[in-house]
Structure 1
Amino acid sequence: MKQKIKKIIKWGFLLFICQFFIRACIPSKQDTAVIKPRQSTKYWSLNTGSKIAYTFIEGKGNKKPYPIIYLHGGPGGYIHSKVIEVLGQLSENGYDVYLYDQIGSGLSGRLENVNEYSATRHQKDLESIVALLNAKKVILVGQSWGGALATMYAGDNLNKVDKLILTCPGAIKPIDESVEKLKAPDSLNLKDPIDVNSETIAFALKPRYVAIRFWAFLGKKIGTDEEADSYLNKMASGFTKGLVYDPTKTLPEEGGGGGYCNIKTPPSYSKLKDPRPKLKNNTIPTLIIKGQYDNVPWGNTNEYIEIFKNSQLKIIEKAGHDVYIEKPNEYLEAMKLFLK
């Protein structure tokens, strides 16, 4: 009887493996929206070789000397229409506002060689954009991963940054484990967002998506950019529920996720030289905005406070990681007050 059970388990396992590999080899583009150019969409051809899509909103009235550049999250995220709607209002205070899709995502170009997707490439693109704008200094607004990118840029370009606004910034790499274990003071009343990990992990284990990621790590594309993007967009429709306080407020996905950018950029970021020493003694005025239900551990947020000594923290209640969705007015007013 035991031998029979072992045989059944053995053949069942082999059948599972065979089905997994067959499904992994079959292209299966997900049924998701595909982002379309807006009337406001323009393009830069950077000296890095990147074709970058952006929206520009010109400052009104008494023009401020330094432009605002918005850096979206991800890696592999994109500029959502809601971000343009909210951040564009800063133009009313005289600021030129630029919002761009990072290479490999949104309406920007895709790279043929997946190994070219790296944190360094994103930083070089940003440096190229600042040079192209002929701006003496810039104000960077970084959301999530965009906050980490802004910090990387600042470390190498201290004289180019007028101010930083970091909203729910992601962890600074390499990660200090002691930082991640730090507990938030009770006075901040921070809360955990809803847990969507089980849904996200289940989707990430789909055979075809596993295969796409595996070969991408080896430097190969076994699927088209469109297929890889569709998987990230489908997964995003689930995990974005954990980025807000109220899941019913989740915005519909517009189909701008960059699949290969999302797969390849994080490993490169983890291998970069520690940026902390470069930022020692910096005096950059910095605003750190954090939603009460932000999913980034408090220790990671607190590290930004310690690195940027000339900083202030703003907690926005009943808001998650994507503060601009649920509390756009408070989000915007905090920025305007800081910029004054």
Structure 2
Amino acid sequence: MAGLTHLLNFVQVWRGTTSDLNPDCMKRFLLFRRTLLLAVGLWVLGFAVQAQPSMKEGYINVPGGKVWYKVLGADKPGIPLLLLHGGPGSGSGSFEGFAALADERPVILYDQLGCGKSDRPDNPRLWTMERFVTELEQVVAALGYPKLHLLGHSWGATLATEYLLTQKPPGVVSVILSSPLLDTKLWVQDAERYIGQLPPTQQRAMRLYAATDEPSKQAYKEAVTLYNRQHLYRNGPMPPNPTFGTQVYETMWGPDEAQATGSLKSYSRAADLKKLTLPVLYLCGRYDEAAPATVAYFQKQTPNSQLVIFENASHKAYWEVPEEYFKTVRGFLRKQK
């Protein structure tokens, strides 16, 4: 009976339905109740932290509009990897395969202004190197990570290099320059060599980008398709890209991958690569329009760097040989602190 009486007293105290119990008993049980409630509260809070979403997305204000971003593996503990897409104007849609790396660290994609899911203002004056560097600065600031790895592909490697050289961001731990455009003169020289390997009819057709008659426009389109199948993406026809930023691309680069007529036509940072002192990984494909010999030249100018060439790939190695590509990137990132 005494045990039953104590149990009933416990219940009464817990429910707060009695006030005439022994004061010591009341004090002990109230302390027990507070302790238990605190423990339950901490458990719920811990569960909520553990259950934070693994993916988040949103928009960031930049000069000229808003840019869309997405973070994969947002709940992972590793230093985040920020991806800079090519083009200019290609968008980050082709980067979905980088989700393979989001099991260890956050992987951040964003569409630069003028393409993808970001605002696409009709204003050619916006498409300058300086504005894109400022845009990148504001994206990094809005994300708020104290440390980052950068990976830039093609024009994205150009943007990453400009950002590092001009802004010297202290939080960037390493950079991966994948199929980089770092000197337009060398890029075009390589393209001329590649064009010279096409059949004579296609060689002539590649020069018809300004033609207005339908036969010439069709011949030019077929020649560009052949060039791209050899040096841009070798696994078949390029997937459609309905949000491609044509105005950005043509303003800054030109009519196609091989011919530079825009504001980047005189671009070169080859002489400044010695100023990159952080760890640098260069990547390219054996048949890349960022030709292996040229990328090897860039790597030799860069103090703390290495180069990996993917033998069965061209410019889109992360699509063409994804297992090899992501294994290489993962290994490099794991070595950085």
The TM-score, its normalising length taken from structure 1, stands at 0.66
Out of 143, 165, 182, the residue aligned to residue 176 of structure 2 is 165
Equivalent residue number for residue 115 of structure 2: 105
Partner of 2:80: 67
Identity over aligned residues, as a percent? 27
Give how far 1:263 is off. Answer: 1.3
How far the C-alpha of 1:205 sits from its partner, in A, is: 3.0
How far apart, CA to CA, are the structure 2 residues paired with 1:320 and 1:91? 24
Q: For this pair of structures, how many residues does the alignment match?
A: 260
Q: Distance in 2 between matches of 1:235 and 1:45?
A: 39
- The Cα shift of 1:105 comes to 1.4
**How far apart in 2 are the matches of 1:133 and 1:247?**
35
For 1:317 and 1:102, locate their aligned partners in 2 and report how far apart those are by CA, in whole Å: 30
Q: Name the SS of the counterpart of 1:150 in structure 2.
A: helix
The aligned residue for residue 301 of structure 1 is 295
Aligned pairs (5 A) from 1:90-129: 90-93=101-104, 95-129=105-139
Provide the C-alpha distance between the structure 1 equivalents of 2:196 and 2:72, rounded to a whole number of angstroms: 33
Residue in structure 1 matched with residue 22 of structure 2 by the alignment: none
Q: In angstroms, what is the RMSD of aligned CA positions? A: 3.5
**AA paired with 2:66?**
K
Pair 1:269 & 2:280 matched:
no
Judging changes above 3 Å, is the alpha-carbon distance between structure 1 residues 168 and 276 closer, same or farther for their aligned structure 2 residues?
closer
Structure of higher RCO (CA pairs closer than 8 Å, 6+ residues apart): 1
Matched, 1:260 2:247: yes
Rounded to whole Å, the distance in 2 between the matches of 1:147 and 1:203 is: 29
- Asked if the contact 2:64–2:126 (Cα under 8 Å) also holds between the matched residues in 1, the reply is no
Amino acid at match of 2:173: D
What is the SS of the residue equivalent to 2:63? coil
The residue number in structure 2 matching 1:246 is 234
Deviation, 1:303, is 3.8
Aligned in 2, Cα 1:195/1:123: closer, same or farther, shift over 3 Å?
Answer: farther
Going from structure 1 to structure 2, the CA distance change for 1:276 and 1:246 (only over 3 Å counts) comes to: closer
* Aligned with residue 50 of structure 1, among 65, 76, 84: 65
Change (3 A) 1:282 1:76: closer
1:123-272 equivalences in 2 (<5 Å): 123-158=133-168, 159-172=170-183, 175=185, 195=198, 198=203, 201=206, 204-207=209-212, 240-244=228-232, 246-248=234-236, 250-266=237-253, 267-270=262-265
Amino acid aligned to 1:167: S
Cα distance, 1:205–1:96 mapped onto 2, change above 3 Å: same
1:204 counterpart SS class: coil
Counterpart of 1:288 in structure 2: which amino acid? Y
Query: Could you tell me which residue of structure 1 aligns to residue 91 of structure 2?
Result: 78
Distance in 1 between residues matched to 2:75 and 2:116, nearest whole Å: 27
Larger radius of gyration: 2
Secondary structure of 2:103's counterpart equals helix
Question: How far does residue 280 in structure 1 lie from its aligned partner after superposition?
Answer: 3.7
Return the alpha-carbon distance in structure 1 between the equivalents of residues 116 and 133 of structure 2: 17
> How far apart are residue 106 of structure 1 and its match?
1.6
